[in-house]
Structure 1
């Protein structure tokens, strides 16, 4: 159907209230097209989009449709052990969670639902705790307040894999009329009791590698999200000096006291940093709304320094492996997990300690999937990605900022005991392994027109390999074809096909282009290694200038 036919179908539906219909009547032509030109796509991990009325929006009807598709998938595959459900602080998140439970109940499927908002990693843990067949997390993670989403997990606690996602998508697409879907309240819906949280906290506290003095001063902000209770609770349990930044400790769907809900954005730190300066804190920790990603800022020589996701992952990994090495506890078959857009510093540290590294596509779902495949004699050591996500221990199968906070509090405290900061620690890492620097450029291209521009850019770079003066192009990987071109030959990439192209140069440098899976953006990742951080930054700046000049010409 055309967008106008979809629009009129909704406008004339008896399932919409008069207030809903009034909202629809106020849309201009461009807004109508964007809200109705397609069905909100259920991607490889679920739904994410702007909240509102329309087939291309997150609303009670699109949530019900997704849940019915999931329910039909579970029933057809005899996956009958229930579904764990959690939700964040966003507008209507709790409503969407309960609507999901009611739709599952209408199909005779039990659900386990939290009484209040809880972090994404606790949802992953709940799936494993209850031996459930699936999980649903209502969240849009770090996206702006206008967004919400619906993430689906399989029985391992990881986000559903590509094959599972494609099967669920077929079930969703087979549903003709989302207005006919009704849920029921029944005894199939179960509240999750406090025992689960107690067990989760016990597991988090067990990741500690050594006792420290607990003198480090920590400012913490959940950015109005799900970390607000559990993270202070865990740190206080272990006698850490934690100072919550109170204006952002309130559940608020409008994120009123922060300019950004994304730890990758320096605006997210403004309030907490001001408070840290007032009380002379050593470290600022900021988790995103669903508490699966963590950003930190550390005081060094009187100034606060933001530590990016690649650097944080390297700090965590180096601490884990170096400490285990000192304790003679390194496993014979240990595995570290990283992605194709994460710093090569992770590889170098891992290999230095004679452990194995596994690379996946972008997204922690792939790390969770690979962690599940480890044999009994193989040990999960760590996993991380550049976008501020890590997983210290795999009793959860998604990135976990609660674990990251706990480990980094220990690291900061250990360093303070030794008159060091994380900036000093990073310098130690760089001197030992080389100066790596990474940066990501995001180009926002909205709507149908934006989608076409992203496609044009990706097509160009696949067909025209990016050569840079002074650098040898050693390989080109086109993940959409599963082919790597190297030494004049084609090699098969043993990863799922994905819309990603990667150019690798000498000196451990590379450029990756890919469309975002959750936002209308083209993402360009750069990495360089040099004998100083300034030189590495200079190389990355040059790479960025060259890429953006080409892209500007393409989308004029």
Structure 2
């Protein structure tokens, strides 16, 4: 929109909005500078495969009851076109306005004749994925902004299979949303009905605790310990980062014998302000500082914990830190994925299972060490595109072939893990349980998880990773990004950082799924993706992927060496070379 357009949009919203809080914000915006008005109104909040995500507030580019209602109307039309009697499960995390947005979405769905099943309190994302399939729903909605700062909220949509929606579904929903306004009197906007009336008429129901119990039972079905092993001691400091994890994580851990969790003060209960943690992302040390401080307190008292466990606000991702000399070291997402994959393979082998039947799934940008672990244990490893929905898709294919029992584990480098087929998304509840059981396993050997990972490095070599993100701002940014990707496709460099490029893979052409320990026979090619991979001599590689939502290109760097120092030095060289290549 032009400057006049955004001012006109502001005036239109000011006339039509009935919400007192949004009206007050619009009044403030009317006195603000043009940049502030433009930021709120220059576009409609984009609906993609991750649904909606944005800052809470007034405007078309914000998360509010009107943008939520409009998106839900698009979803309702999509569902009514595909299902005879659709139903939707709805959940929320601890974000501000979460309950209001749930009621708004349910009111729109009910007005469109769609039955809604709503969790009555905050619950983890995996509990929503579970509920969709457990209750036979056509779709799911989760009001969550994952690990974003407190100003954000989001609207994530799941399909009937419990996976995040496909690109095709997202495109159809987005097209339907685009035809809608926000306040139009001619009906070209969201239909709505009073929430309490819809509940009285049976179109809105609460999801009972029996569903949540079945979810926790499904998590416990992945336990790797005998009842005797569950008696072994383990001291855990835990932080839900003011999110949704406490109820389900503490329940699951209590049932495997960890009934005295030390929950970090001020971070246990849901709180959308995230007052002790500005950026509640368990990948970042800053988010774990309060937990690390509690670990140091325990250590000073002579009772150092075995690990610090941290789940993100919607409890689909989990981070871990362990004592390492005088400080605590964070286990990276790639490292925890490798540790868990190796541990689960060991446990299955000890039980006498045929490991050759097992299948693990990760992504093309996750640690190369996963290949080595798969070869060592003899199971099959598949690599999908980035995004856990692709891992969930592989589980669905196995289930359709009546081979769901072959699925052993899935992980992505961004701290998402899954064992079991009870959900189709990453699950910090089952991951937390398995991490604690694995920690007990290594404690018996005199190691914590950081030390266990070092042992794996010594065995397989130091496969280290780094991700860099380069920005391309301004009007020319998109064109510059397109030129870079086109150049890589037209003529890949002969070498990067002095290492020959052995193979260039353009995933836009639908590359074959990378498979280790299997033939890949019968597997469909990967979907087209704007990604280029450069495999370098010496077991190194660079993967280049532009963002679909920001003017940025990410480069994933992979280095391998016999010593950690050499691998880190190699990452530095690859870093400099990638920046020069993408300049």
Matched, 1:426 2:453: yes
Alignment partner, residue 501 of structure 2: 473
> What is the CA distance between 1:34 and its match in structure 2?
3.0
Could you say if the C-alpha distance between residues 445 and 119 of structure 1 is closer, same or farther in structure 2, counting changes exceeding 3 Å?
Answer: farther
Instruction: Quote the offset at 1:446 in angstroms.
Output: 6.8
Written as runs of structure 1 = structure 2, the 5 A alignment for 1:177-256 is 177=182, 180-184=189-193, 185=195, 186=198, 187-211=202-226, 212=229, 213-240=231-258, 241-256=260-275
Which residue of the partner structure matches residue 435 of structure 1? 462
Return the offset for 1:4: 3.5
SS at match of 2:275: coil
Answer with 144-153 or 512-521: which moved more. 512-521
SS at match of 2:53: strand
- 1: distance between equivalents of 2:524 and 2:33? 46
| CA deviation after TM superposition for structure 1 residue 243, in Å | 0.6
Shift, 1:2, TM fit:
4.1
Within 2, Cα distance between the matches of 1:60 and 1:315? 43
Q: Match for residue 506 of structure 1?
A: 537
In 1: Cα distance, 2:397 partner to 2:471 partner = 36
Q: 1:122 aligns with which of 117, 127, 130?
A: 127
Rounded Cα–Cα distance in structure 2 between residues aligned with 1:456 and 1:493:
29
Find the counterpart in structure 2 of residue 407 from structure 1.
Answer: 434
CA distance in structure 2 between the aligned counterparts of 1:493 and 1:533, rounded to whole angstroms: 37
State the partner residue of 2:166: 161
Tell me by how many angstroms 1:453 deviates: 5.8
1:100 maps to which residue?
105
How many angstroms does 1:206 deviate by? 1.7
What secondary structure is seen at the aligned counterpart in 2 of 1:132?
A: coil
CA contact (8 A) 1:479 1:493 kept: no
Any conservation in 1 of the 2:150–2:278 contact (CA below 8 Å)? no
Residues 347-378 of structure 1 show CA distances to partners (whole Å, capped at 9, x for unaligned) of 22123222222211111011112210112135
1:320 corresponds to: 344
2:497–2:574 CA contact under 8 A, matched in 1: no
* Among 523, 526, 542, the residue aligned to 2:554: 523
Q: Shift of residue 9 of structure 1?
A: 2.8
Counterpart secondary structure, 2:45: coil
Measure, in 1, the Cα distance between the counterparts of 2:350 and 2:52: 45
Rounded to whole Å, the distance in 1 between the matches of 2:2 and 2:524 is: 39
RMSD: 2.3
- Cα distance in 1 for residues equivalent to 2:524 and 2:77: 33
1:345 equivalent among 369, 393, 396: 369
Does the 8 Å CA contact 1:4/1:36 hold for their aligned counterparts? no
Aligned length: 545
* Cα distance between partner residues in 2 of 1:273 and 1:410: 21
Q: In 2 relative to 1, CA 518–415 (structure 1 residues): closer, same or farther, beyond 3 Å?
A: farther
The verdict on how the C-alpha distance between 1:87 and 1:79 changes in structure 2, with shifts beyond 3 A counting, is farther
Give per-residue Cα distances to partners, 1:491-539, cap 9 Å, x unaligned: x992222232222212221112223456665332111111122211111
* CA positional deviation for 1:103: 0.4
SS at match of 2:96: coil
More off after superposition, 474-483 vs 195-204: 474-483
Match 1:536 to one of 567, 579, 582: 567
Query: SS of the residue aligned with 1:246?
Result: coil
Q: Distance in 2 between matches of 1:519 and 1:268?
A: 24
CA distance in 1, matches of 2:25, 2:478: 28
- 2:16 corresponding residue in structure 1: 15
Is the CA contact (8 Å cut-off) linking 2:115 and 2:204 kept in structure 1? yes
Say yes or no: does 1:273 pair with 2:292: yes
Structure 2 gaps, min length 5: 299-303, 513-522
Query: For residues 373 and 537 of structure 1, do their structure 2 counterparts lie closer, same or farther at Cα, with a shift above 3 Å needed?
Result: same
C-alpha contact (below 8 Å) 1:81/1:131 kept by paired residues: no
- Partner SS state of residue 180, structure 2: coil
How far off is 1:91 after superposition?
1.4
Alignment match, 2:519: none
C-alpha separation in 2, matches of 1:521 and 1:66: 26
